[in-house]
Amino acid sequence: MHNPAFDQLATYPFWRLNNLLEKVPKPDGFTELALQIGEPKIPPPGFLAEIIGENSSKWANYPPHPGTESYRAACASWLTKRYSLPEEMIDETANILPCAGTKEALFHMAFLAVPRDRIKGGNEPYAVLVPNPVYQVYYGAAVFSGGKPYPISAPAKNNFMPDYAGVNPDILERTALVYLCNPSNPQGASASMTYLTELIALARKHDFVLVVDECYSEIYRGTPPIGGLQACAQLDGNMDNVLVLHSLSKRSSAPGLRCGFVAGDPKLIDLYRTIRSYAAVAVPLPILAAGEALWRDEAHVDINRAHYGSLFTAAEEILGHINGFSNPPGGFYLWLDVGDGEETALKLWSEAGVKCMPGGYMAQNDPFTGVNPVSQYLRVCLVHDKVTAVEALERISVVLQG
């Protein structure tokens, strides 16, 4: 016996890629270059380890689920400064809750938002709208919470953002939760203020929870991406129906720290506090101390951003002449239209020892057409030092032109 929700899940993208490549030998003379996973390879700032060491005595204490007041204050201060929010808008107790990285929290959001009963007058479960391509955690959360996921395509003609406003009104009426990644993964597109304010208005009209995953917010070229709470401030200053999630994994090159926060609607934060008390691991006190220092420091973020900018400049120089190339304004992924993402991923591995993710592995078939909308794309993660990244890009260039 098992939970039938498992039967609704596709093979996780990284497992699927391993299955594709495991029987194909790496070519002789090439070192493996792993560009399939968005794990920063540049080191975090040195003070991170120092602060954890200074707080090592606190490993002996159970950490409080609400975190420390000083950690929440650092998060509130960072949000206020980063998004030019009114000083009184974010209360560190009412509007902020730490989480052990955002993956766990994103999964929990569906259990916060999706009712377990069926829609009144029918047998349909509540709808959960997710972008397509999709971070698979959104989809899995919808399934395991008892909701019905609807992957909504995010085509280039819509700035790689899902057209949630264009969803059938009958589906919107039974929508409990909408996920948005901004900047988007994998396309690196940033939502406009108009897009965000209209989506927030839609959430309030239909009374669904809008969860904005902003884990890539600090990896950008040019103008900083607009945030969900920034759009709330633009509308009316309240955060009804809206939660945003932030993490130190990408911003501070600290994916192993597992430290972030959820912010927004105080009613939803209060509900999430209950969920975390029952079903989540509290962030340890030494990690909260290190996280607090990271949120209060921008110097290392500026260095990281400049590094990623140099990698995308190199990508433009090496791949810019190839059809299907585009240079995204945010994130650290190239989203290349190569005609057939799976075939190209196999070719890059077998001919050049480079691992990349087929775009179609990151998407679900469209629920209305039955077609995978991004099977022609390939995701390339630019997360290494410049020498490694340039070598990978040059190998990719040779294969794509061959």
Question: Are residues 318 and 265 part of one domain?
Answer: no
Q: What is the model's pLDDT at position 155?
A: 96
Q: What is the model's pLDDT at position 120?
A: 54
Name the 3-class secondary structure at 224.
coil
Q: What is the model's pLDDT at position 150?
A: 98
Question: Are residues 103 and 238 part of one domain?
Answer: yes
Tell me if 99 is assigned to some domain: yes
Which carries the bigger pLDDT value, residue 114 or residue 122?
A: 114
What number of residues does the chain have? Answer: 402
Tell me if 205 is assigned to some domain: yes
**Vertex 214: Cα angle to 42 and 310 (nearest 5):** 35
Name the 3-class secondary structure at 58.
helix
Question: Are residues 289 and 312 part of one domain?
Answer: no
Q: Which residues contact 4 (CB under 8 A, 6 or more apart)?
A: none
The answer to whether the CB of 119 falls within 8 A of the CB of 278 is: no
The yes-or-no verdict on residue 116 having pLDDT over 90 is no
- Four-point Cα dihedral 205, 166, 118, 369, nearest 10: -170
- Four-point Cα dihedral 126, 184, 348, 398, nearest 10: 150
Number of other residues whose CB lies within 10 A of the CB of residue 94: 15
Count Cα neighbours of 69 within 13 Å in the Cβ-side half-sphere: 0
Q: What is the model's pLDDT at position 370?
A: 95
Q: Structure tokens of 62?
A: 């159970």
pLDDT tens, residue by residue, 275-323: 999 999 999 999 999 999 999 999 999 999 999 999 999 999 999 999 9
The yes-or-no verdict on residue 88 having pLDDT over 90 is yes
The amino acid that residue 316 corresponds to is E
- Round to the nearest angstrom and report the end-to-end CA distance of the chain: 50
Number of domains in the chain: 2
Model's pTM, two decimal places? 0.97
Question: Are residues 183 and 84 part of one domain?
Answer: yes
Q: Which residues contact 267 (CB under 8 A, 6 or more apart)?
A: 240
Q: Containing H/E element for 164?
A: none
pLDDT tens, residue by residue, 39-76: 999 999 999 999 999 999 999 999 999 999 999 999 99
Name the 3-class secondary structure at 185.
coil
Q: Which residue has the tokens 């203020």?
A: 193
Q: How confident is the model at residue 124 (pLDDT cuts 50, 70, 90)?
A: confident
Question: Are residues 354 and 289 part of one domain?
Answer: no
The last residue of one of the domains, among 232, 265, 296, is 296
Q: Which domain holds residue 336?
A: 10-43+300-401
Question: Are residues 126 and 38 part of one domain?
Answer: no
- Rounded Cα gap, residues 175 and 27, in angstroms: 49
Tell me if 3 is assigned to some domain: no
Q: What is the model's pLDDT at position 121?
A: 53
Tell me if 77 is assigned to some domain: yes
The yes-or-no verdict on residue 119 having pLDDT over 90 is no
Q: Which residues contact 396 (CB under 8 A, 6 or more apart)?
A: 318, 319, 348, 352, 354, 356, 380
Q: How confident is the model at residue 7 (pLDDT cuts 50, 70, 90)?
A: very high
Looking up residue 87, the CATH number of its domain turns out to be 3.40.640.10
Q: Are strands 148-153 and 242-247 parallel, antiparallel or unpaired?
A: unpaired
Question: Are residues 374 and 263 part of one domain?
Answer: no
Question: Are residues 241 and 107 part of one domain?
Answer: yes
Question: Are residues 271 and 167 part of one domain?
Answer: yes
The answer to whether the CB of 326 falls within 8 A of the CB of 379 is: no
The yes-or-no verdict on residue 118 having pLDDT over 90 is no
- What is the DSSP code (8-state) at residue 330? B
Whole-angstrom CA distances from 185 to 177, 262, 323, 334 are 19, 19, 21, 10
The last residue of one of the domains, among 262, 296, 330, is 296
Across 332-336, average pLDDT: 98
Query: What average pLDDT is seen over the chain?
Result: 97
Could you tell me which residues are beta bridge partners of residue 242? Answer: 210
Q: Which residue has the tokens 């975090």?
A: 44
Tell me if 1 is assigned to some domain: no
pLDDT tens, residue by residue, 212-270: 999 999 999 999 999 999 999 999 999 999 999 999 999 999 999 999 999 999 999 99
Question: Are residues 311 and 289 part of one domain?
Answer: no
Question: Are residues 374 and 226 part of one domain?
Answer: no
Looking up residue 34, the CATH number of its domain turns out to be 3.90.1150.10
| Nearest one of 26, 93, 25, 27 to 64, comparing CA atoms | 93
